[in-house]
Structure 1
Amino acid sequence: MPLDHRRLRGPDESQPPALWAAGAEEDEAGAGEGEAAAAPRDPCALRPLFARAGLLSQAEGSAYVELSGGTKVLCAAWGPREAAEPGGTAAAGGGRLACEFRRAPFSGRGARPRPGGAAEREAEREAAAALREALEPAVRLARYPRARLAVSALLLQDGGSALAAAVSAASLALADAGVEMYDLAVGCALCRDPGDPAGPWLLQPGEAEERRAAARLTLALLPALNQVSAVLGGGRGGDPEGWGQALRLGLDGCHRLYPVLRQSLLRAARRRDAAHSA
């Protein structure tokens, strides 16, 4: 019988890919639990952050923020443009800031809401509202009367502290677009372990830590002005002193992240100047 060279001959015995995928997930989960048990997490330690501004040529301003552990957010900013249609929120005599938050279909592992479903749309709408609340105090909207600024955040991978990373990335994108701002808005997230209601708060929790957390807190800070632009929290965090401790820890985390974002913005400005002078 002649051989068919147009086809690749497969093995005589094969197994469904889902079988090996399930085993890989179990091995990864077991390895993660073993590492967590062997090396306890320092609650005050910040996850390493990588930020880069000005990497999208199709947008007036852009930024990419990645946290160690897998969180990846890409933001783009446009404007100011004439506000031909109503939308966003307007300051007195100022412009409008419209924010969009979307999750990539491949952003999360495991079970997630159906893409495009009502639950996912509602979650994205709430995240966009929180993003706008955190950014509005940082932007000088009064300098853009009857104008519209737009920010779009795309969550490429959710490894925890996604909203906080989106706040930092969106602030960088606005600054990269040349929008007048009072200061960069720096986001930081915290959570509390349900096994110890009186235990310490964890800075920049991972996705697994957020999923089992008894309480969560996300705040945005304008470090140069020492002004909190947004606070979003909920859960069983203990007494008011516990929430106060979380706020102090989060403010300290924002101040420590601020130099990284500023350096990213300065590097983008130098690259732009070098490209124009070449």
Structure 2
Amino acid sequence: MPLDHRRLRGPEESQPPEVWAAAGGLLGGQEEEERGDEEAAARDPCALRPLFARAGLLSQAEGSAYVELSGGTKVLCAAWGPREAAEPGSAAAAGRLLCEFRRAPFSGRGARWRPGSAAEREAEREAAAALREALEPAVRLGRYPRARLTVSALLLQDGGSALAAAISAAALALADAGVEMYDLAVGCALGRAPGAASPWLLQPAEPEERRAAARLTVALLPALNQVSAVLGGGEGGPAEDWAQALRLGLDGCHRLYPVLRQSLLRAARRRDTAAATA
């Protein structure tokens, strides 16, 4: 039988990759846990993770935005509307805002749940409801009677504080679509490790979020100084500690607001330049 020289011959003795994967996973998990503890101890609780935002990326959508947090969180949002509501006989005075939140199958390293499982679908429904709760006060739905606005958020990579990043990206996408809004909704997340002496951390990373005993996500309309949503839970201590976390989150939203505004202005300038050269 002729030899196939294009085929690479394997070693005479081999072992299944599961052996090395199991050993490497255990060691890697321990190292990652220790590294996460060291970073959390050395981190300034009031420091924000660097944020990158860009609006007007998708040509297929009427409005779009991409938000990335240092550490790996990446969210892509698209917005459509206003369009006529599906219910022809609807006599609603104001429009409707429909929100969708999906996680890409590859979004998490060491996923918390199996892709496509009931737990993941329930988590996506809860995130979509939270997204709608945070965005509705920012949109002038009364200007769009019997119409619907649609926002779709796709989590490309979960590096922590994903819902807060999705709120900011969705608000940018709606503004990029030309939807009338009172202000941009800015999201900021906080987490607190177990222990009464543990400080609240702004924009926790995924390891910090996984170990947190309490979490809080704040959505703010900075120009109006109006809170559009407060979502949280866990063992955060007495009411004074939660009030401190809320003040810290509002301050973080105010500091993130100029970054989102600049990205929206750059998108508008690019659109004007493209229209002038066409």
TM-score (structure 1 length as normaliser): 0.92
Q: Distance in 2 between matches of 1:180 and 1:103?
A: 28
Q: Distance in 2 between matches of 1:119 and 1:274?
A: 46
Superposition pairs for residues 9-158 of structure 1, below 5 Å?
A: 9-22=9-22, 24-25=24-25, 26-27=27-28, 30=31, 33-34=34-35, 36-37=37-38, 40-85=42-87, 93-158=93-158
Please report the RMSD computed on the Cα atoms of aligned residues, expressed in angstroms.
2.1
Q: Offset at 1:260?
A: 0.6
Q: Offset at 1:32?
A: 6.2
* 1:242 alignment counterpart: 241
Shift of the 153–238 alpha-carbon distance from structure 1 to 2, 3 Å rule, reads same
Q: Offset at 1:34?
A: 3.6
Q: Distance in 1 between matches of 2:112 and 2:246?
A: 30
* 2:167 alignment counterpart: 167
Of 29-38 and 179-188, deviating more is: 29-38
Question: 1:197·1:214 contact (CA, 8 Å) conserved in 2?
Answer: no
Counterpart of 1:102, as a letter, is R
Runs (5+) with no aligned partner, structure 1: none
Question: 1:81·1:148 contact (CA, 8 Å) conserved in 2?
Answer: yes
Superposition pairs for residues 179-190 of structure 1, below 5 Å?
A: 179-190=179-190
CA deviation profile, 1:147-194 (whole Å, cap 9, x unmatched) = 100000011111110000000000000011111111100000001110
* 2:226 alignment counterpart: 227
SS in 1 for 2:266: helix
Runs (5+) with no aligned partner, structure 2: none
SS in 2 for 1:94: coil
* 1:253 alignment counterpart: 252
The percentage of counterpart residues that share the same residue type is 83
Counterpart of 1:233, as a letter, is G
Q: Offset at 1:37?
A: 2.1
SS in 2 for 1:256: helix
Of 211-220 and 5-14, deviating more is: 5-14
Shift of the 213–226 alpha-carbon distance from structure 1 to 2, 3 Å rule, reads same
Of 29-38 and 211-220, deviating more is: 29-38
SS in 2 for 1:84: coil
Shift of the 192–92 alpha-carbon distance from structure 1 to 2, 3 Å rule, reads farther
* 1:178 alignment counterpart: 178
Counterpart of 2:178, as a letter, is G
Shift of the 270–24 alpha-carbon distance from structure 1 to 2, 3 Å rule, reads farther
Shift of the 42–58 alpha-carbon distance from structure 1 to 2, 3 Å rule, reads same
Question: 2:36·2:207 contact (CA, 8 Å) conserved in 1?
Answer: no
Question: 2:64·2:76 contact (CA, 8 Å) conserved in 1?
Answer: yes
Q: Offset at 1:223?
A: 0.3
Question: 2:63·2:173 contact (CA, 8 Å) conserved in 1?
Answer: yes
Question: 1:198·1:238 contact (CA, 8 Å) conserved in 2?
Answer: no
TM-score (structure 2 length as normaliser): 0.92
Shift of the 211–7 alpha-carbon distance from structure 1 to 2, 3 Å rule, reads same
Q: Distance in 2 between matches of 1:251 and 1:36?
A: 26
Shift of the 228–10 alpha-carbon distance from structure 1 to 2, 3 Å rule, reads same
Shift of the 237–92 alpha-carbon distance from structure 1 to 2, 3 Å rule, reads farther
Number of matched residues?
274
